[in-house]
Amino acid sequence: MSTQATASIFARAPAPGFSDPVHNAQSVFRAAMNAMAQPGTIQQLSDLALTPPAPLSVSATALVLTLCDYDTPLWLDADLAANDVVKNYIRFHTAAPFVESPAEASFALVANTKRLPAIASFAAGTSEYPDRSTTIILMVEDLKTGQGVTLQGPGIKTEKQFSVSPTPPVFWQQMQDNSRLFPLGVDVIFASDHQLAGIPRSSQISGLEA
């Protein structure tokens, strides 16, 4: 490693992570767990003094810092993958390896929904190990407006209305295909500024406008 390379790596400091790593990570994990256990419900994340580099949002960054470590390959969308500040930040705080192929990822972080590849291109797990699938962390603007769908399935008493914006045009059709793969398939966590919601592979999605 040359002096110049060393200097450039260490010259710009990454932004701080969690101020209280154990308790912050626990509260974010609880929110993520509840989001998955009760699909479509909105979980609030509060009291996180995170200052992630743009374009990362506080909630998406909190999820990455909580869930990723050196054991979880992380896939970044094309915009994030080209952003060295973001990559240095995530690498410094989580040590997660970055992968080129969505199929190799344990987690995928997508800042721009337009950059979301086909959901089928992510790892859906195998029949022996359905857990070896990708969890997609999708940064969205809000969890109130946008194209609405109806969710049914485990964790939902009758049915649950859910809307999120923005979503790519064919997103919900792909999510329907994804839920047909059960027990295989990917899980999605939507992260707006300070809110989370989850749709696991077990949720049945209906009510799409034709």
Nearer to other proteins, 93 or 160 (CB): 93
Residue 2 binds other proteins (CB under 8 A): yes
Residue 52 binds other proteins (CB under 8 A): no
Give 77-134 as a DSSP string.
-HHHHT-HHHHHHHHHHH-PPB-SSGGG-SEEEES-GGG---GGGS-B--SS-TTSB-
Residue 44 binds other proteins (CB under 8 A): no
Nearer to other proteins, 6 or 126 (CB): 6
Residue 120 binds other proteins (CB under 8 A): no
Question: Tokens representing 4?
Answer: 């110049």
CA distance 135 to 169: 20
The distance of closest approach from Cβ of residue 97 to other proteins in the complex, given in angstroms and rounded to an integer, is: 16
Residue 17 binds other proteins (CB under 8 A): yes
The distance of closest approach from Cβ of residue 61 to other proteins in the complex, given in angstroms and rounded to an integer, is: 14
Among positions 8, 19, 173, 206, the unique one binding other proteins when judged by CB under 8 A:
19
Residue 210 binds other proteins (CB under 8 A): no
Residue 26 binds other proteins (CB under 8 A): no
Residue span binding other proteins (CB under 8 A) among the ranges 6-14, 63-71, 120-128, 132-140: 6-14
The distance of closest approach from Cβ of residue 12 to other proteins in the complex, given in angstroms and rounded to an integer, is: 5
Residue 54 binds other proteins (CB under 8 A): no
Local structure of residue 54 (DSSP, 8 states):
T
Would you mind telling me the total number of residues written for the chain in this entry? 210
**CB within 8 Å of 129: residues ≥ 6 apart:** none
Nearer to other proteins, 18 or 75 (CB): 18
Burial class (CB in 10 A: 0-12, 13-18, 19+), 184: middle
Phi, psi of 29 (to 5 degrees): -60, -40
Site string for other proteins, 77-106 (x = CB under 8 A): ---------------xx-------------
Residue 183 binds other proteins (CB under 8 A): no
In this structure, is the dihedral angle defined by the CA atoms of residues 186, 96, 65 and 84, taken in order, positive or negative?
Answer: negative
**Quick check: 80 and 86 in contact, CB under 8 A?**
yes
Per-state percent for the chain, helix, strand, coil, to nearest 5: 35, 20, 45
Q: Which residues bind other proteins (CB under 8 A)?
A: 1-3, 6, 10-17, 19-21, 92-93
